[in-house]
Chain A
Amino acid sequence: MIGIIDYGLGNLRSVLGAVEKLGQSGVISANPGELSGCEKLILPGVGAFGDGMGNLAARGMIEPLNKLVRLDRKPILGICLGFQLLAETSEEFGAHEGLGWIPGHVKRIRPGTDALRVPHVGWNDFEKAGDCILFDDIPDPALFYFVHSYHLETDPGITVGTCTYGRPLCAAVQSGNVFGTQFHPEKSQQYGLKVLQNFLERA
């Protein structure tokens, strides 16, 4: 069973649809007990950082999730906002603390040219950086769907893929059992589904 973490934001159903398309069962849940019975977790997200952390806290999920991810070392995949929430801080609408499971800070995208608009919306080339099971059997580069105004600045040592929008942006990370993609695998057709399948089967 795959636990899709429900914190009141995000396209939870799209993620569940993709998990089911890949032949696995998933459950959308805000219940730590139920999530602890799942083999793997997905932290989706469409939304603002402050609201995301606020909702996780209001539902009393931060401590239980810390235990599941840090102590039990359950594999978790953060997607888009869920990926950014893995970091230490964000500057989106004020200063916010994140889950802090990976090093790094979330900052506004500044492409450095007026020709490139923010949000960064659409299909962009993802280039692998290092080895990560998420991207097994996926061409390099491959196109994935991005939609975000903020990006993660993190340690190159955990960056497993980048895209370029004026300058290189971190597009995927792995640190032990913690995985994350800035792009939406559940919205990136065949290669996106392959990324999810790799997480479900190999993480």
Chain B
Amino acid sequence: MLRKRIITVLTLNDGTLFRTKLFKPDYRYTLNFVDAWSVDEIAILDVTRGDHPDRDKFFKAVSEFARTCFVPISVGGGIRKLEDVARYMDAGADKVVINTGAVENPHLIEDIAGAYGQQCVVLSIDAAKTDDGYEVMSHFGAKPTGHDPATWAKYGEALGAGEIMITAVERDGALQGYDLGLCAEVAKAVSVPVQVLGGCGNWQHMTQAFEVPGVSAACTQNIYHFTEQSIASAKKFLAGKGVAVRA
């Protein structure tokens, strides 16, 4: 049986591991904290700001990490063209995560899927609450786009996205649980697997996420989930709740 996944999300700023809260930098720690044997998959995102950030340090960090990491790695941050994808793939990525680049040019999704296959494209969607629902935000959650997350996800799937990663901007770093309503709305709109991010504070939150139909991965960027054995203990908890996970 296909197992539900736990994805550890690492955010790097200027080549250094960084944690965010409400999309603002929090504090630093090192890549060595990643519990590499129990984790199912890793996403590494470059959150270096600026119009033309220098990504060389990020590439170096990803390449070094990928060399000794034997689980799948998704890499994202600043992808605007196919050459950016080639560079990430060359650094050791198995998939790429696109967000603002897809908002600016949705056909980027098509181009990547055409060259690398649909399974290579993870469309990341940051959504903020509005008076009457949710709105997709680009540029690190700062810029309203006018898109509805479920509609945008569906369009992204039609263009070739193989997975959707949905993040509730308000839940980022809050540790109060995922926005399950948002997850359900997006997961219902698409037929590709959905990863949920933003707000995971404890293992029960993961259990709740997996109860949402269509959610195949719970992502965490909580520093307390990166210590030795923590993902293993999450899995023990989930298995006890009847969630099919990889031990």
Interface residues of A (CB under 8 A from B): 9-14, 17-18, 21, 46-48, 51, 81, 92-93, 114-125, 143, 145-149, 164-165, 184, 186-190, 192-193
**A-contact bits for B132-169, CB 8 A (1 contact / 0 none):** 00000000000000000000000000000011000000
**A-contact bits for B209-238, CB 8 A (1 contact / 0 none):** 000011011000000000000000000000
- Nearest first, the 9 closest Cβ-Cβ pairs linking A and B are A119-B119, A123-B246, A17-B67, A123-B3, A147-B119, A124-B2, A187-B72, A48-B117, A47-B116
Task: Please tell me which one of the listed residues A46, A149, A187 contacts residue B71 in the complex, with CB atoms under 8 A apart.
Answer: A187
* Residue picked from B1, B40, B95, B114, most chain A C-beta under 10 Å: B1
B193 CB–A CB distance under 8 Å: yes
B63 CB–A CB distance under 8 Å: yes
B132 to A: closest C-beta gap in Å: 28
Instruction: Identify the closest chain B residue to A120 (Cβ).
Output: B2
Question: What residues of B have a CB within 8 angstroms of the CB of A120 in the complex?
Answer: 2
Question: What residues of B have a CB within 8 angstroms of the CB of A48 in the complex?
Answer: 113-117
Given contact pairs A115-B213, A117-B216, A122-B4, a sample of 8 additional A-B residue pairs in the complex whose CB atoms are under 8 Å apart: A13-B91, A116-B2, A119-B163, A121-B193, A122-B216, A145-B40, A187-B71, A193-B70
Residue contact A145 to B72, C-beta cutoff 8 Å? yes
Task: Please tell me which one of the listed residues B118, B217, B246 contacts residue A149 in the complex, with CB atoms under 8 A apart.
Answer: B118
Instruction: Identify the closest chain A residue to B72 (Cβ).
Output: A187
Q: List 8 A-B contacts (CB under 8 A).
A: A13-B91, A14-B73, A114-B191, A117-B214, A121-B119, A122-B217, A123-B246, A184-B94
Residue contact B119 to A148, C-beta cutoff 8 Å? yes
A144 to B: closest C-beta gap in Å: 10
Task: Please tell me which one of the listed residues B63, B71, B116, B214 contacts residue A13 in the complex, with CB atoms under 8 A apart.
Answer: B63
Question: What residues of B have a CB within 8 angstroms of the CB of A115 in the complex?
Answer: 213
Interface residues of B in 33-81 (CB under 8 A from A): 37, 40, 63, 66-68, 70-73
Q: How far is the CA of A124 from the CA of B244 in the complex (A)?
A: 10
Question: What residues of A have a CB within 8 angstroms of the CB of B1 in the complex?
Answer: 124-125, 164
A6 to B: closest C-beta gap in Å: 11
B92 CB–A CB distance under 8 Å: yes
Instruction: Identify the closest chain A residue to B247 (Cβ).
Output: A143
For chain B, the bracket of interface size reads: 35 or more
Q: How far is the CA of A114 from the CA of B163 in the complex (A)?
A: 15
B89 CB–A CB distance under 8 Å: yes
Task: Please tell me which one of the listed residues B5, B92, B118, B191 contacts residue A14 in the complex, with CB atoms under 8 A apart.
Answer: B92
Residue contact A187 to B2, C-beta cutoff 8 Å? no
Q: How far is the CA of A145 from the CA of B115 in the complex (A)?
A: 22
Question: What residues of B have a CB within 8 angstroms of the CB of A92 in the complex?
Answer: 117
A112 to B: closest C-beta gap in Å: 13
Question: What residues of B have a CB within 8 angstroms of the CB of A123 in the complex?
Answer: 2-3, 5, 40, 246
Question: What residues of B have a CB within 8 angstroms of the CB of A193 in the complex?
Answer: 70
Question: What residues of A have a CB within 8 angstroms of the CB of B93 in the complex?
Answer: 11
Question: What residues of B have a CB within 8 angstroms of the CB of A13 in the complex?
Answer: 63, 66-67, 90-92
Question: What residues of A have a CB within 8 angstroms of the CB of B217 in the complex?
Answer: 122
Q: How far is the CA of A22 from the CA of B207 in the complex (A)?
A: 37
B203 to A: closest C-beta gap in Å: 19
**A-contact bits for B185-211, CB 8 A (1 contact / 0 none):** 000000111000000000000000000
B120 CB–A CB distance under 8 Å: yes
Task: Please tell me which one of the listed residues B70, B95, B191, B246 contacts residue A18 in the complex, with CB atoms under 8 A apart.
Answer: B70
* Residue picked from A13, A48, A117, A121, most chain B C-beta under 10 Å: A121
B170 to A: closest C-beta gap in Å: 27
Given contacts A119-B162, A119-B163, A189-B37, contact A46 B66 (CB under 8 A): no
Question: What residues of A have a CB within 8 angstroms of the CB of B119 in the complex?
Answer: 46, 119, 121, 147-149
